[in-house]
Amino acid sequence: MLPDQLRLSLERTLSWYPQCVGQLHWATRNSGGDHTQRVGRLLLTYGTSNDPGVEFVVANSPVAIDAFLPSASERLEGGFWDATQLSSGAFLPPNPLPLHDLEEHTGLPGLMIQATTFACGGIAIAVKFAHPLADAQTLARFMHDWAATNRAMVHALELPVLQPVFEPQRLDRAAAGDIDVAHADSGLLEKSRVLPRHRYDWWATNDGSVPSVPAPLKAATEVSAADPMPWSEWNMQAPVSHDIIHFTPDEIQHMWEAAQGGAPVSRHDALLAHVWALVNRARGLVEDDQPVHMNITLGLRGRVSPPLPDNFLGSPIILGRLSMSGRESSSGSLSEVAARIRSTVNLFDAESIAALLHDMAHDLALVRLWHAFLGERNLIVTSWVHLRLYEVDFGPKTCARYVEAIMPRLDGCLQVMEAFPAGRADVGYNKAGRQKRWYDDGVDVSLHLTTDAMEKLVKDPLLRRYSVPSDN
């Protein structure tokens, strides 16, 4: 786990991930070209002498990990802990990622890693990926592969044969119709636009003026985009807290049992329904009849036809939207809300996704759009379950003490992942020797809310309503 050893194993791992050393940049627009040459399209150039490489930073902290990170037992005490003061971002490499401002990119790596050693001998490994190159599943695949390579090297074993798949065109081929002709198919466009998604315009201004944009994106200012952002719903000056809320396996089971009552729903659906109700109650929306929105991150690997393999690299994710009134979402039955979540997710099937990919390939305003929002009427949900990040083992036969998806501290960000494993000796497996289900060690919900709302949420008597079986 020494930085020099990690650097050596990283070099070996990158031989299987050559795209990670390349340069991310805007494609040169060609109005008569194919779908990869339209305005706002990204290119990744690699395998040249100008590749920026991967940034690897070594840092040292004069304190022990205990000085700022509570132990697992301390984090579980009370069922939640305040992570607001945890300075996780300080362990990330300081340089910006390419196109962070829609323009600067030359020489900026799309993958940056920092290894920070502590006075106690511990180490933090922080990974920063440009999102177009990696979603959570790609990040997890990379971490498992790097750890396996390092583990083999330190134990003098044969290096593993890694099997990442970087073929973005396979996703393009899942689109319906012809994505290289000049105009979109109107029928496919109609099928795509009825899918429940926000369509907000980052560049819309109150006075109708056009913002300053980089030269490669100028043509995107000439097309009709979408709805203006509802900035009045988002108080960006309000202080935001970050809490990790832990639910036990029994609580997850009881939620799921309480959510039965009609269409089949998953435990994940039941969990999201419960947390969304808590969030909207804390925001004071119990008697609000206006829409509130859950913006759900959806992976495309298993949704397209033919499906993409689990080791498909990139960021094949989209956002879908469930809208209900504040009243319905916070005081309706768990089964009703969970069923609405499931029915919304089910709308994004292979046929609908094929139409959506056709739409996206033709959409000249794509670079201007955000299919979500934050603030008091929105929640953005991303799930990291099934990624087994607490099983990442670099060689010492110990799992990580703490894994965090570092999210911006903005009102309405929610992330779900498996909790710290209860038994470190059987990481990944239960007492019967079978692989654990994603909730067998409990579930951690990482939530960012305004401080006022968070204080109300953690005091809500309904937070632990499923600590015992319930018929509600």
pLDDT digits (tens, 9 = 90+) for 119-144: 999 999 999 999 999 999 999 999 99
pLDDT at 433 over 60: no
Chain segment 334-350, per-residue pLDDT in tens: 999 999 999 999 999 99
Q: Structural domains in the chain?
A: 3-72+83-154 (3.30.559.10), 183-459 (3.30.559.10)
Q: Are the CB atoms for 449 and 241 separated by under 8 Å?
A: yes
Q: Given this model, what pLDDT does residue 224 score? A: 79
pLDDT at 427 over 90: no
Per-residue confidence band for 398, with pLDDT thresholds at 50, 70 and 90: confident
Chain segment 16-49, per-residue pLDDT in tens: 999 999 999 999 999 889 999 999 999 999 999 9
Number of Cβ within 10 Å of residue 327's Cβ equals: 16
Q: How far apart are CA 141 and CA 143, in angstroms?
A: 6
Q: Are the CB atoms for 265 and 338 separated by under 8 Å?
A: yes
Average confidence (pLDDT) over 66-73: 86
Q: What is the pTM of this model?
A: 0.94
Q: How far apart are CA 317 and CA 389, in angstroms?
A: 19
Q: Given this model, what pLDDT does residue 469 score? A: 76
Pairing of strands 42-45, 23-26: antiparallel
Q: Given this model, what pLDDT does residue 425 score? A: 46
Instruction: Kindly state the percentage of the chain with pLDDT values over 90.
Output: 82
What letter represents residue 44's amino acid? L
242 Cβ contact list (under 8 Å, min separation 6): 82, 83, 84, 86, 409, 446, 447, 448
Q: How far apart are CA 61 and CA 116, in angstroms?
A: 7
pLDDT at 186 over 50: yes
In which residue are the tokens 């997890």 written? 140
What letter represents residue 411's amino acid? D
Number of Cβ within 10 Å of residue 88's Cβ equals: 17
What average pLDDT does the structure give for the chain? Answer: 93
Q: How far apart are CA 45 and CA 56, in angstroms?
A: 20
Average confidence (pLDDT) over 196-211: 84
Q: Given this model, what pLDDT does residue 396 score? A: 76
Q: Are the CB atoms for 450 and 239 separated by under 8 Å?
A: yes
184 Cβ contact list (under 8 Å, min separation 6): 177, 358, 359, 362, 363
Q: How far apart are CA 363 and CA 369, in angstroms?
A: 10
Q: Are the CB atoms for 201 and 211 separated by under 8 Å?
A: no
Q: Is 292 helix (H, G, I), strand (E, B) or coil?
A: strand
Q: Are the CB atoms for 118 and 364 separated by under 8 Å?
A: no
